[in-house]
Amino acid sequence: MALVWCFVRNVAAMFRRMRKYSTTSALSLALLAAACGSDASGTDSGPEQQIATLEARFLDAFNKGDASALASLFAEDGVRVISGAQLPSTGREQIKKLFEADLAQHNANLDNRLSSKLRAVRALGDGILVADGAFELKDKSGAVLLGGKWGCVYRETADGLEVVMESAHVASDTLKEPIDFSKVKRQEASAADFGEGAKHLEAMQKQIADYQAAIKAGDASGIAGLFVEDGVQLVSSSPKPHVGRADIEAALKSVLPEGGYTGTNLDAKILGVRQLSDKLLCANGVWQITKDDGGVLELGQWGNLMEIQADGSLKLILESTGALHVTE
C-alpha cells in the first residue's frame, strides 16, 4: 500500500513540470499484464511457459475483441488495477464490463494490436507466481497508441494459472495531452474488501506512514528499505522498472528534492486485501497528491504484492503504481 507513495518518485518530476497526462482512455491494457508477455520464449515447462501460455490466450482474446474470454483468465475474486480507471474492477463480472469498455474504445474495429513483453517471472511458493513486463497498443500502421508497464500476480489451479491481480499503468511519455486533475470528477469506492487480510491492516498502514514520512524527508534509502532485497518498483513516470533496493534508491535519489517536500501531501487508501499464503499478501487501493490548500495535483491507483515478515511487518515484493490518464 505504501506503494502509492513510491509513486512519489514521479511526484518529483510531476511537481517540477506539473506533468499530468491524459489520453483517450485508460487502456485496460493493464489487461495485458495478465497476458504477461508476448516475447516469453516458453522453451521450458516452468513458470515462464505457464505464463506464456496464459499470455497467448490473453492477447488472442483482446485482439479478437472477446471480453468474456479475457475475464475468464482471472480468478473469481480477481482484481484489475489500471491507469484508465479511478477504481479497481473486482470479480469476473466487473472485469468483463471493463474489458468491454476497453475494447469499444481501443479496438472497436479490431484494427489495433496489443502486445506485451515479459521481463521477469518468480515462483514464490504455495502456487503463487509474480511477473512484470511492458505492453504496447499499436494501430494498423504500426504507430504506438499507448504503452506502459504491468505487474501481475498469478495462482496455480487444477486448470492452470489464473490472474489474481493485474496492475498495469500507461507510461507518461506515451501520452499526448495534459490533464487538470483538479477538474476530474471523482469517484468514491462503495466499500472496501479485506477478508482474511484485515488482520494485516495495521501493518499496511504503518508501511504507508513510513513511506510517506520518507518521501516528505527526501529519504530515498528509507523508501528502498521498505522493499525486499530483490523487490520491483513500477511507476508510470519512470521509463523502466527498478529492480532491487540499490536500483530503487538510486532512482528515487534522482528525483527527490534533497530537503524533502513542503506544501504537498501524498495520501493513500486501501481498498482491497487478499492473503494468498502465510507469507504473501496482495493489496490494492487509490492515491492522490494534493497541495496544502487541498487542490489535487495528481491521482491514481496502486496494486502491490507484499511479503509478511516474522514480526508481522510487511516488505514490498512488487509495487505497481500509476496516474489516471483519462478525464472520466
| pLDDT tens sequence across 69-100 | 999 999 999 999 999 999 999 999 999 999 99
Say whether both 122 and 222 belong to one domain.
Answer: no
Residue given cell 527526501 in the structure block: 218
Residue 5 · residue 223 · CB < 8 Å: yes
Of 143, 178, 213, the residue that ends a domain is 178
Of 160, 178, 196, the residue that ends a domain is 178
Confirm whether 226 is domain-assigned.
yes
174: CATH: 3.10.450.50
Share of the chain above pLDDT 90, in %: 65
Say whether both 214 and 303 belong to one domain.
Answer: yes
Say whether both 26 and 170 belong to one domain.
Answer: yes
Per-residue pLDDT at 148: 93
Say whether both 37 and 161 belong to one domain.
Answer: yes
Confirm whether 183 is domain-assigned.
no
**Distance (Å) of CA 251 to CA 29, 36, 98, 221, 267:** 25, 25, 33, 10, 21
Say whether both 12 and 47 belong to one domain.
Answer: no
Say whether both 193 and 121 belong to one domain.
Answer: no
- Residue ranges with strand state E in the chain: 21-22, 74-82, 89-90, 113-125, 128-138, 144-157, 160-170, 177-178, 227-235, 242-243, 264-275, 280-291, 296-308, 314-323
Say whether both 277 and 164 belong to one domain.
Answer: no
Say whether both 199 and 116 belong to one domain.
Answer: no
Say whether both 30 and 174 belong to one domain.
Answer: yes
- DSSP of 191-225: --B-GGGGGGHHHHHHHHHHHHHHHHHT-HHHHHT
**Distance (Å) of CA 213 to CA 148, 206, 229, 233, 319:** 28, 10, 21, 18, 18
Say whether both 291 and 227 belong to one domain.
Answer: yes
SS3 292: coil
Confirm whether 307 is domain-assigned.
yes
Q: Which residues, including other chains, have CB under 8 Å from residue 328's CB and lie 6 or more apart?
A: 85, 86, 184, 185, 187
Asked whether residue 16 carries a pLDDT value surpassing 70, the answer given is: no
Say how far apart CA 320 and CA 279 lie, in whole Å: 19
Per-residue pLDDT at 326: 77
Task: Quote the domain boundaries for residue 236.
Answer: 3-18+188-323
Residue 185 · residue 168 · CB < 8 Å: no
Confirm whether 72 is domain-assigned.
yes
DSSP state of 81: E
**Across 35-47, average pLDDT:** 50
Per-residue pLDDT at 264: 86
Say how far apart CA 115 and CA 60 lie, in whole Å: 10
**pTM of this structure:** 0.86
Average pLDDT, the chain: 85
**Number of separate domains in the chain:** 2
Say whether both 138 and 214 belong to one domain.
Answer: no
Residue 236 · residue 171 · CB < 8 Å: yes
Of 146, 178, 210, the residue that ends a domain is 178
Residue 124 · residue 315 · CB < 8 Å: no
Most confident range (mean pLDDT) of 11-20, 183-192, 208-217 is 208-217
Per-residue pLDDT at 175: 76
Say whether both 84 and 230 belong to one domain.
Answer: no
